[in-house]
Amino acid sequence: MATKRYSELRAADWQARVFLLEGEEPVLRREFLMRVRTTLNLSPGSMDEATLDARETPVSAVGSVLLTAPMEAERRLVILQAVNRYNANELQNLARLVEQVPPFACLVLIPLATEESDGSKAGWNALTRAVDKHGVVVQFKPLTGDALTRRLVEHARAAGKRLRPEDAEYLQTLVDGVAELALAELDKLILYVEPRDTISRLDIDMTVSPSQQAQVFKLVDAVVARDAPTAMRLLRRSFQSGTRTEETARKTLGLIARQYRLLWGVKLLLQYHQPIDQPSKISAEVAQKLPKDPDVVQVLTQRAFLRDALRRQAEQLSFAQLCEAFEALADADLALKGLRPSVNAAEIMERLIVRLTLGDSAAAPSPQRQGG
């Protein structure tokens, strides 16, 4: 039949006998399966639905399940998970099976996310061609940026609540742009604001627990704004997670360092007048100059909601200030490893925040304290 994006599927496509899902987006995958069940008129827990795992089920057994006549509905649904774990021979067998799916069955093939096929490339290509000819290869684009913002606003509206797009973007920043988490937190918010019909920024702050990365983003925001009290309060809050102080300090230091490398990359893009709002148009020559960890272009592409905030932070820092920050981060790293004199991990991180916010002289210990 065809290879199509999920958003491009039409009524006729939902009648296909076989689907192969490509791309990682748990929210859209679940939505897809719900729509397939609706198309087949299958109720939850139906005897005419079977979920198999390719790591435990040979293709011959999949064929037997497909050939079992449905008992309640007109068609049977067979979901085969981890299909990319089949070896080359089994992939070829599955490609042949795709051509023989009976009209009273529907086969959905789901690969494991982020894993390459265990079989040969030829075997996987044969399977893809077979599905493309006899069914639909469904491509899922990650639900991020503007698409996720629209989804959140629409989800709130469907529940009778108003969520401003800018607040939907803010919610994304607190959950690292993960659609599944954003929608789960929005469901909590919908219950929290009842009976009110508007979800405010304050409601989000009161209800949503920010990820550690989101907390570090706020912390760096305060540092860049030279707001030492807020930065220190955010740092101390991170030590209240229940995790060992030393472990929290190391992880927080790593995330702060990652944020500053990201800001260095954004600063370079601004210097070379590159289109931050259109990452695909950033020149290859300039991209070669950017830090690789994190991949700046990838972050700007996948987390569009961060672009304005990153631009704002980068514009407030000079390259000299960024270099000073990297020196401070390196010193803190050595101190946490026991290679520089210090009192404890919390004190090392507090001194780092003062140094990043106010400069080297403000964080320098007094001679009396330095001498013990």
3-state secondary structure of 161: coil
229 Cβ contact list (under 8 Å, min separation 6): none
Q: Which of 87, 118, 139 is the last residue of a domain?
A: 139
pTM of the model: 0.75
Integer Cα distance of 141 and 124 in angstroms: 20
pLDDT higher than 60, residue 367: no
- In DSSP terms, which residues pair with 112 in a beta bridge? none
Share of residues in the chain with pLDDT > 90 (%) = 83
Q: Do 266 and 366 have their domain in common? A: yes
What would the two tokens of residue 199 be?
A: 């979800």
Burial of 2-34, coded b for 16+ CB within 10 Å and e otherwise, reads eeeebeebeeebbebbbbbbbeebebbbeebbe
Lowest mean pLDDT among 9-13, 241-245, 364-368: 364-368
CATH assignment of the domain containing 108: 3.40.50.300
Last residue of a domain, one of 139, 157, 187: 139
Q: Flag whether pLDDT at 343 surpasses 90.
A: no
| Per-residue model confidence as pLDDT tens digits over 30-61 | 999 999 999 999 998 899 999 999 999 999 99
Q: Which of 276, 352, 353 is nearest to 314 (CA)?
A: 276
In the predicted model, is pLDDT for residue 369 greater than 60? no
Q: What is the CATH number of the domain that holds 156?
A: 1.10.8.60
Model pLDDT for residues 241-278, shown as the tens digit of each residue: 778 999 999 999 999 999 999 999 999 999 999 999 99
Confidence of residue 342 (pLDDT cuts 50, 70, 90): confident
- Quick one: 121 and 150 in the same domain? no
Reduce the DSSP state of residue 119 to 3 states and report it: coil
Tell the residue number behind the tokens 């007094």, with chain if given.
366
Query: Of the candidates 124, 129, 131, 132, which has an alpha carbon nearest to the alpha carbon of residue 88?
Result: 124
Token pair listed for 12: 């006729």
Say whether pLDDT at 359 is over 80: no
* The pLDDT of residue 302: 84
Both 179 and 241 in one domain: the answer is: no
Give the residues across from 136 on adjacent strands: 2, 19
Q: What is the pLDDT of residues 203-234, one digit of tens each?
A: 999 999 899 889 999 999 999 999 999 999 99
Compute the average pLDDT of residues 323-334: 96
Give the pLDDT band (50/70/90) at residue 303: confident
CATH number, position 299: 1.20.272.10
Res 368: pLDDT: 41
The whole domain housing 295 covers 212-370
Half-sphere exposure of 122 (CA within 13 A, CB side): 3
Higher pLDDT: 372 or 14? It is: 14
Closest CA to 21 of 163, 128, 167: 128
Residue 145: left (phi > 0), alpha (psi -120 to 50), or beta? left
Higher pLDDT, 169 or 369: 169
C-alpha distances (whole Å) from 71 to each of 34, 49, 76 are: 20, 10, 8
Q: Quick one: 42 and 102 in the same domain?
A: yes
DSSP state of 337: T
Whether 350 has a pLDDT exceeding 80, the answer reads yes
**Residue 268 pLDDT:** 97
Contact 7, 31 (CB under 8 A): no
Q: Binning pLDDT at 50, 70 and 90, where does residue 114 land?
A: low
Number of domains in the chain: 3
Regarding whether 326 and 312 lie in a shared domain, the answer is: yes
Indicate if 133 and 120 belong to the same structural domain. yes
Which stretches within the chain are classed as H helix? 26-40, 59-66, 88-98, 121-134, 145-158, 165-174, 179-193, 201-207, 212-224, 228-238, 245-271, 284-287, 296-302, 307-315, 319-336, 345-358, 360-363, 367-370
**One domain, residues 354 and 311:** yes
Q: Which of 104, 139, 174 is the last residue of a domain?
A: 139
Same-domain check for residues 170 and 197: yes
pLDDT, residue 120, reads 79
Q: Are residues 9 and 84 in the same domain?
A: yes
Same domain, 364 and 222: yes
Is-contact 116 91, C-beta < 8 A? no
Q: Are residues 10 and 121 in the same domain?
A: yes
**In a shared domain, residues 249 and 342:** yes
Residue listed under structure tokens 């627990």: 209
